[in-house]
Amino acid sequence: MPDTALLIIDMQRAMLKDAHDGEACLGRVADLADRARAADVPVVYLRQQFAQLSAEWLEVHPTLTPRPGDVVLDKESADSFLDTTLGKVLEERAVRRLVVTGFASDYCVDSTSRSALSHGYDLVLVADGHTTMERPAGTEPTAAQIVAHHNGIFSVIQYAGRSVTVAPAAQIRFDASVAN
Protein backbone atom coordinates (compact mmCIF):
# COMPACT_ATOMS: atom_id res chain seq x y z
CA MET A 1 0.00 0.00 0.00
CA PRO A 2 1.36 3.45 -0.84
CA ASP A 3 2.43 5.73 1.98
CA THR A 4 1.05 8.80 0.21
CA ALA A 5 -2.41 10.36 0.00
CA LEU A 6 -3.75 13.21 -2.12
CA LEU A 7 -5.78 15.79 -0.18
CA ILE A 8 -8.29 17.91 -2.11
CA ILE A 9 -9.38 20.67 0.24
CA ASP A 10 -12.61 22.65 -0.20
CA MET A 11 -12.77 22.46 -4.00
CA GLN A 12 -16.49 23.21 -3.81
CA ARG A 13 -18.66 25.10 -6.28
CA ALA A 14 -19.51 27.92 -3.91
CA MET A 15 -15.88 28.54 -3.05
CA LEU A 16 -14.45 28.37 -6.55
CA LYS A 17 -16.93 30.81 -8.07
CA ASP A 18 -14.46 33.71 -7.73
CA ALA A 19 -11.19 31.77 -7.42
CA HIS A 20 -7.94 32.95 -8.94
CA ASP A 21 -6.95 30.72 -11.90
CA GLY A 22 -9.90 28.53 -10.89
CA GLU A 23 -10.53 26.53 -14.06
CA ALA A 24 -6.85 25.80 -14.67
CA CYS A 25 -6.35 24.82 -11.02
CA LEU A 26 -9.37 22.51 -11.20
CA GLY A 27 -7.91 20.83 -14.28
CA ARG A 28 -4.53 20.26 -12.63
CA VAL A 29 -6.12 18.84 -9.48
CA ALA A 30 -8.41 16.57 -11.53
CA ASP A 31 -5.36 15.24 -13.38
CA LEU A 32 -3.55 14.65 -10.09
CA ALA A 33 -6.58 12.76 -8.73
CA ASP A 34 -6.65 10.53 -11.82
CA ARG A 35 -2.92 9.84 -11.54
CA ALA A 36 -3.22 9.12 -7.80
CA ARG A 37 -6.04 6.63 -8.35
CA ALA A 38 -4.06 4.92 -11.13
CA ALA A 39 -1.21 4.44 -8.64
CA ASP A 40 -3.56 3.19 -5.87
CA VAL A 41 -2.92 6.34 -3.85
CA PRO A 42 -5.88 7.35 -1.65
CA VAL A 43 -7.74 10.49 -2.73
CA VAL A 44 -9.28 12.34 0.20
CA TYR A 45 -11.75 15.19 -0.26
CA LEU A 46 -12.39 17.69 2.52
CA ARG A 47 -15.55 19.80 2.34
CA GLN A 48 -16.06 22.96 4.37
CA GLN A 49 -19.56 23.16 5.84
CA PHE A 50 -21.51 26.43 6.04
CA ALA A 51 -25.01 26.57 7.46
CA GLN A 52 -25.96 29.57 5.33
CA LEU A 53 -25.28 27.87 1.96
CA SER A 54 -27.41 25.23 0.30
CA ALA A 55 -26.07 21.68 0.13
CA GLU A 56 -25.89 21.96 -3.68
CA TRP A 57 -23.27 24.72 -3.40
CA LEU A 58 -21.26 22.78 -0.84
CA GLU A 59 -20.74 19.77 -3.09
CA VAL A 60 -17.36 19.13 -4.65
CA HIS A 61 -16.99 20.95 -7.98
CA PRO A 62 -18.24 18.73 -10.85
CA THR A 63 -14.77 18.74 -12.44
CA LEU A 64 -13.56 16.84 -9.36
CA THR A 65 -16.50 14.59 -8.59
CA PRO A 66 -15.35 11.93 -6.10
CA ARG A 67 -15.18 8.39 -7.44
CA PRO A 68 -15.95 5.09 -5.71
CA GLY A 69 -13.17 4.38 -3.23
CA ASP A 70 -12.38 8.06 -2.62
CA VAL A 71 -12.87 9.39 0.91
CA VAL A 72 -15.09 12.44 1.49
CA LEU A 73 -14.98 14.15 4.89
CA ASP A 74 -16.85 17.21 6.09
CA LYS A 75 -15.18 19.79 8.30
CA GLU A 76 -16.12 22.95 10.14
CA SER A 77 -12.66 24.44 10.57
CA ALA A 78 -9.79 25.67 8.42
CA ASP A 79 -7.72 22.79 9.86
CA SER A 80 -8.87 19.60 8.15
CA PHE A 81 -7.61 17.52 11.11
CA LEU A 82 -9.65 19.39 13.74
CA ASP A 83 -12.76 17.48 14.81
CA THR A 84 -12.68 15.18 11.75
CA THR A 85 -11.63 11.58 11.18
CA LEU A 86 -8.87 12.59 8.75
CA GLY A 87 -6.09 11.38 11.05
CA LYS A 88 -7.79 8.01 11.51
CA VAL A 89 -8.41 7.62 7.76
CA LEU A 90 -4.73 8.30 7.04
CA GLU A 91 -3.55 6.01 9.82
CA GLU A 92 -5.71 3.13 8.54
CA ARG A 93 -4.01 3.51 5.16
CA ALA A 94 -0.48 3.82 6.63
CA VAL A 95 -0.04 7.26 5.05
CA ARG A 96 3.13 9.18 5.90
CA ARG A 97 3.17 11.79 3.11
CA LEU A 98 0.40 14.16 2.03
CA VAL A 99 0.12 15.83 -1.36
CA VAL A 100 -1.97 18.93 -0.67
CA THR A 101 -4.20 20.83 -3.09
CA GLY A 102 -7.24 23.01 -2.67
CA PHE A 103 -8.93 26.23 -1.70
CA ALA A 104 -8.03 28.66 -0.05
CA SER A 105 -4.26 29.03 -0.01
CA ASP A 106 -4.34 31.50 2.87
CA TYR A 107 -6.88 29.68 5.01
CA CYS A 108 -7.65 25.98 4.76
CA VAL A 109 -4.67 24.94 2.62
CA ASP A 110 -2.27 26.76 4.94
CA SER A 111 -3.93 25.54 8.17
CA THR A 112 -4.16 21.94 7.00
CA SER A 113 -0.57 21.91 5.69
CA ARG A 114 0.84 23.18 8.98
CA SER A 115 -1.35 20.80 10.94
CA ALA A 116 -0.22 17.88 8.77
CA LEU A 117 3.39 18.68 9.61
CA SER A 118 2.54 18.95 13.32
CA HIS A 119 0.76 15.58 13.10
CA GLY A 120 3.95 13.96 11.75
CA TYR A 121 3.28 13.86 8.01
CA ASP A 122 5.69 14.79 5.27
CA LEU A 123 4.19 17.43 2.99
CA VAL A 124 4.11 18.08 -0.72
CA LEU A 125 2.33 21.36 -1.51
CA VAL A 126 1.26 21.42 -5.15
CA ALA A 127 2.45 24.89 -6.19
CA ASP A 128 -0.15 25.30 -8.92
CA GLY A 129 -2.78 23.11 -7.26
CA HIS A 130 -4.07 25.58 -4.68
CA THR A 131 -5.86 28.85 -5.11
CA THR A 132 -7.72 31.59 -3.28
CA MET A 133 -10.44 34.10 -3.99
CA GLU A 134 -9.78 37.04 -6.27
CA ARG A 135 -9.59 40.36 -4.46
CA PRO A 136 -11.18 43.60 -5.67
CA ALA A 137 -9.11 45.45 -8.27
CA GLY A 138 -6.33 47.45 -6.64
CA THR A 139 -6.34 45.37 -3.46
CA GLU A 140 -3.00 44.05 -2.25
CA PRO A 141 -1.95 41.40 -1.87
CA THR A 142 -3.57 40.01 -4.99
CA ALA A 143 -4.72 36.40 -5.16
CA ALA A 144 -1.70 35.55 -7.32
CA GLN A 145 0.59 37.14 -4.70
CA ILE A 146 -1.08 35.14 -1.93
CA VAL A 147 -0.56 31.85 -3.80
CA ALA A 148 3.08 32.77 -4.50
CA HIS A 149 3.58 33.82 -0.87
CA HIS A 150 2.40 30.46 0.45
CA ASN A 151 4.54 28.59 -2.06
CA GLY A 152 7.50 30.66 -0.90
CA ILE A 153 6.85 30.05 2.79
CA PHE A 154 6.45 26.30 2.37
CA SER A 155 9.56 26.09 0.21
CA VAL A 156 11.68 27.22 3.19
CA ILE A 157 9.65 26.23 6.26
CA GLN A 158 11.34 23.82 8.65
CA TYR A 159 9.66 21.15 10.79
CA ALA A 160 11.95 18.80 12.69
CA GLY A 161 11.98 15.35 11.15
CA ARG A 162 9.62 16.32 8.33
CA SER A 163 10.13 16.67 4.60
CA VAL A 164 8.49 19.64 2.90
CA THR A 165 8.40 19.98 -0.87
CA VAL A 166 6.72 22.55 -3.10
CA ALA A 167 6.34 21.36 -6.68
CA PRO A 168 4.06 22.01 -9.65
CA ALA A 169 1.46 19.39 -10.52
CA ALA A 170 3.40 18.28 -13.59
CA GLN A 171 6.29 17.16 -11.36
CA ILE A 172 4.20 15.13 -8.92
CA ARG A 173 4.69 11.41 -9.40
CA PHE A 174 2.71 8.86 -7.45
CA ASP A 175 4.37 5.79 -8.92
CA ALA A 176 7.82 6.34 -7.41
CA SER A 177 9.05 9.43 -5.62
CA VAL A 178 6.44 12.12 -5.08
CA ALA A 179 8.28 14.98 -6.75
CA ASN A 180 11.05 15.40 -9.31
3-state secondary structure 29-40: HHHHHHHHHHCC
For range 3-17, the mean pLDDT: 94
Question: Is the separation of the CB atoms in 129 and 28 below 8 Å?
Answer: yes
Using CA atoms of 89, 95, 97, 102 in order, give the dihedral in degrees to the nearest 10. -20
- 15 has a pLDDT exceeding 90: no
Give the model's pLDDT for residue 176.
Answer: 61
Give the model's pLDDT for residue 56.
Answer: 74
For range 54-80, the mean pLDDT: 92
- Which residues touch 17 (CB under 8 Å, ≥6 apart)? none
Give the model's pLDDT for residue 31.
Answer: 98
- 109 has a pLDDT exceeding 80: yes
pLDDT per residue as tens digits for the range 22-66: 999 999 999 999 999 999 999 999 999 987 877 777 899 999 999
Give the model's pLDDT for residue 180.
Answer: 42
Instruction: Name the band, by pLDDT with cuts 50, 70 and 90, for residue 100.
Output: very high
Instruction: Name the band, by pLDDT with cuts 50, 70 and 90, for residue 155.
Output: very high
Cα(46)–Cα(72) distance, integer angstroms: 6
For range 8-28, the mean pLDDT: 94
pLDDT per residue as tens digits for the range 131-147: 999 988 888 999 999 99
Reduce the DSSP state of residue 60 to 3 states and report it: strand
Buried b (16+ CB within 10 A) or exposed e, 5-20: bbbbbbbbebbbeebb
**pLDDT more than 70, % of the chain:** 97
**Measured in Å, how far apart are the chain's first and last C-alpha atoms?**
21
